[in-house]
Chain A
């Protein structure tokens, strides 16, 4: 593992709101978490930024080949606070992915720390590349 882009200045990333109200049945803002997805020989890794979400409030669902990640947040502003400057909004997180690989469902590992969800999806045995020996 290496750190990349050292010394680079971070760019401001505006939170992306879910568009298309049809997929949500509840009111309130819904954001698309920024993700990194990378694949190694044995697993697919997903990292998602979900600030404000507590570990108990994440919902991960893998059904057929659709992976759904959702996070609930509890409002953290107190009732006696008056807004002076509001640059970002707060809301739930929701995003779906199609995972073409066969995943070993029983071995999925999910962790949430510092507002970042880390998912490890191990590939099922038959999805791993297998070298075929050619006999002579």
Chain B
């Protein structure tokens, strides 16, 4: 998270407690998002799939777990600083079979994520492998950190 630098103190015992708190907070965020999605997502955008967003000096990296979603059923678009992942997860149903468990969800999804900085739209790349989508979104030149030489 943004505050990760704070936890990088040489107190390993404490750190795991902070990690645990962090996870609890994320869990609560998710609960609130389900209860009141409009507060978190843009209009018309759902909360599936859950995403992880990270950054390096050069790019933003967006990941989502999309097991069983074929690349041809996935659509990724950028607009300004926003990226939208939409598609459909199709699950075949055996009509004559007797179902003991049916936990896997199917259906359409659309999720919009606002990136914190300007992006280089022309060089966005996406890989879907083992059910995990990874989108690499290079930062625009102006959004990259620049080291200032001290004369």
A residues in contact (CB < 8 Å) with B: 1-5, 7-14, 34-40, 45, 47, 49-54, 76-78, 80-89, 114-116
Q: Which B residues touch A14, using CB under 8 A?
A: 27, 30, 50
Q: Which B residues touch A7, using CB under 8 A?
A: 107-108
Q: A36 and B102 in contact (CB under 8 A), knowing A51-B66, A114-B68?
A: yes
Q: Is B50 touching A87 in the complex (CB atoms < 8 A)?
A: yes
Q: Is B100 touching A39 in the complex (CB atoms < 8 A)?
A: yes
Q: How many residues of B contact A (CB 8 A)?
A: 59
Main SS at interface, chain B? mixed
Shortest beta-carbon distance, A129 to chain B, in Å?
12
B residues in contact (CB < 8 Å) with A: 1-2, 4, 23, 26-27, 29-30, 33-34, 46-57, 60-61, 63, 65-70, 89-109, 113, 116, 128, 130-132, 134
Q: A3 and B55 in contact (CB under 8 A), knowing A36-B99, A84-B116?
A: no
Q: Is B67 touching A115 in the complex (CB atoms < 8 A)?
A: yes
